[in-house]
Amino acid sequence: MVDLMRYLMGNPQTVYSLQNNLFHRDVPDYTIEDVSGTVMGFKNGGIGVIYATNGAIPGKWLNDYRVVARNLVAEFSDANHAAFTYTGGPYLQNVSISSDQDYYRLELLDLLKAIETGGDTRTPMREGALSLDLALAATRSAESAAVVKLLR
């Protein structure tokens, strides 16, 4: 989600996050958050929100997300299925797309090929490092209970 947020919006200027361990407090050595909400602020005034929990429905992974922009709402039930509602004209236009591709497998094959050939991955590795920097900034925000300003 952090990668996708950066891809769509660019690098945020600020991040604020609340993170807690609510569902696994009684599990020995379970020390990370299992519920979180992170708000990012962007140069153009846009706001991005990522919320997550692994305690919502035991044994079920939910991976839905939504993008709301001027003249468009894109609703993803997962990474392979989306419904786009175009709102800019006199009539709403709805378009659905879907795919059966295993994008996790494709990502791994791309990485493996880069390692084997010494070539580049489709997405530069530096992008992954920038997303990690943002995730770590969210952790710093949660630990300090303060907005973290990002340098870019």
133: left (phi > 0), else alpha (psi -120 to 50), else beta? Answer: alpha
Structure tokens at 44: 């153009």
Using the 8-state DSSP alphabet, how is residue 141 labeled? H
pLDDT at 60: 82
The CA angle 9-121-49, to the nearest 5 degrees, is 25
Instruction: Give the number of domains in the chain.
Output: 1
| Confidence check: pLDDT of 152 > 80 | no
Q: What is the CATH number of the domain that holds 132?
A: 3.30.360.10
DSSP state of 26: T
Mean pLDDT of the chain, nearest integer: 94
Amino acid 141: pLDDT: 98
What pLDDT was estimated at residue 62? 82
Give the pLDDT band of residue 61 (cuts 50, 70, 90).
confident
Within its chain, how far is the Cα of 73 from the centroid? 17
What span, in angstroms and rounded, lies between the C-alpha atoms of 125 and 139? 21
Length of the chain, in residues: 152
Q: Tell me the average pLDDT across 104-125.
A: 94
Domain housing 6: 2-149
pLDDT in tens, 50-59: 999 988 888 8
**Residue 145 — left, alpha, or beta (φ > 0 → left; ψ -120 to 50 → alpha)?**
left
Q: Which amino acid does the sequence have at 9?
A: M
Q: What is the side-by-side strand order in the sheet with 93-98?
A: 65-69, 72-78, 81-86, 93-98
Count of beta carbons in the 10 Å neighbourhood of residue 4: 15
**For residue 63, pLDDT beyond 90:** no
19 phi/psi in degrees, rounded to 5: -140, 140
pLDDT at 46 over 80: yes
